[in-house]
Amino acid sequence: MRRVDKLGRIVIPMELRKKYGLTEGARIEFLDVGEGITVRPSEPVCRICRARIAEDAALPLCENCIAEVLKSQRD
Ligand SMILES: [Zn+2]
C-alpha cells in the first residue's frame, strides 16, 4: 500500500519502474478507467522488449526486435 502525500504525489514501486522503463524524466499518463486509475508510460514502447520507440514508428517494435523477427522467419 502507498499513501498519497499532501501534494498528491505517490511513489511508483521500484519493481514496476524497472519493468516499464520509468527512469527519471519518463512520461506517464493517468487514465480514469471508472473503477480506478491506470498509470502507464505515455511514450510508445516495443511490445517485446519494452524499449522506447519513436512516436511515429510504423510497427510497435524496436529495430532490434524487428531484426530478430525477420531473422527468425528466414530460418
Ligand atoms: Zn524490442
User: What are the sequence ranges of the domains in the chain?
Assistant: 1-43, 44-75
pLDDT, residue 57, reads 86
Beta bridge partners of 38: 31
Report CA 12 to chain centroid distance, whole Å. Answer: 13
Give residue 73 CA to ligand 1 midpoint distance, Å. 16
pLDDT, residue 27, reads 82
Residue bearing the bigger pLDDT, 22 or 33: 33
Distance CA 24, CA 18 (A): 11
Residue 75 has pLDDT above 80, yes or no: no
pLDDT tens for residues 6-18? 999 999 999 999 9
Distance CA 26, CA 36 (A): 22
Give residue 53 CA to ligand 1 midpoint distance, Å. 8
Give residue 33 CA to ligand 1 midpoint distance, Å. 28
Residue 27 in grid coordinates: 512520461
CATH for the stretch 1-43: 2.10.260.10
Q: Mean pLDDT highest for which of 5-14, 15-24, 37-46?
A: 5-14
Where does 22-74 show beta strands of DSSP type E?
28-32, 37-41
